[in-house]
């Protein structure tokens, strides 16, 4: 049966070794009026000014983690706002994105093509689909870019398993769900600073 074509970014499913993901995340700072929308499941990078930003396809910077929502004071109503997505630009100085940072989290992500078992343990880039996210649900449309599989250290994702989801576990058809870890995490030992 063909896999479903329904990208959802990176979704945490467990920890390396099989333990449960318990929802741990850290709070960071997004610059006022940051000019890129960020959706739940997008990759996040540290920036040299001490804030964070969304990782686009084709970038090999270190990865801080995966965006899991945001909190800020609405500049129009002056009320606290929590959302799955950051809809740019928001002109306020208290934008606090929540990021899943543990480098031992295993995520599930949809591949943009068939993903053969022989592709496991390689490193991959992401695909920024158009639109890059769902504005209503706040969910990312990022996918794993199958054609980028390589040993390149700077690629953000390492494929470790084919999904066990019966709706998207067929490696012979497009849109296979793949389990990945962050390959070039800021929290790995021996990495250079930003």
Q: What is the mean pLDDT of residues 96-110?
A: 97
98 vs 129 pLDDT, higher one: 98
pLDDT 10s digits, 52-92 = 999 999 998 999 999 999 999 999 999 999 999 999 999 99
Size of the chain in residues: 194
Which residues are 144's β-sheet partners? 111, 126
**Considering the entire predicted model, what is its pTM?**
0.94
Dihedral angle computed from the Cα positions of residues 191, 121, 180 and 150, in that order, rounded to the nearest 10 degrees: 70
Stretch among 38-47, 52-61, 162-171 having the lowest mean pLDDT: 162-171
Q: What pLDDT score was predicted for residue 65?
A: 97
Nearest to 68 by CA among 120, 28, 117: 28
CA separation for the pair 11, 81 (Å, rounded): 23
Q: What pLDDT score was predicted for residue 194?
A: 43
């Amino acid at each position: 049966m063909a896999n479903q074509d329904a990208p959802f970014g990176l979704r945490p499913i467990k920890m390396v070794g099989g333990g449960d993901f318990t929802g741990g995340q850290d709070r960071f700072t997004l610059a006022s009026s940051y000019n890129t929308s960020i959706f739940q499941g997008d990759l996040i990078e540290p920036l040299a000014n001490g804030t964070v930003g969304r990782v686009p396809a084709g970038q090999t910077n270190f990865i801080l983690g995966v965006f899991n929502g945001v909190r800020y004071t609405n500049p129009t109503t002056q009320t606290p706002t929590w959302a799955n997505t950051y809809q740019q630009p928001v002109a306020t100085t208290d934008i606090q994105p929540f990021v899943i940072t543990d480098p031992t989290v295993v995520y599930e992500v949809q591949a943009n093509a068939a993903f053969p078992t022989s592709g496991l343990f390689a490193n991959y880039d992401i695909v920024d689909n158009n639109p890059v996210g769902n504005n209503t649900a706040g969910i990312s449309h990022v996918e794993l870019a199958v054609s980028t599989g390589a040993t390149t250290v700077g690629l953000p994702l390492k494929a470790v398993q084919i999904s066990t989801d019966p709706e998207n576990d067929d490696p012979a058809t497009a849109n296979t769900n793949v389990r990945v870890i962050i390959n070039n995490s800021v929290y790995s030992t021996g990495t250079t600073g930003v």
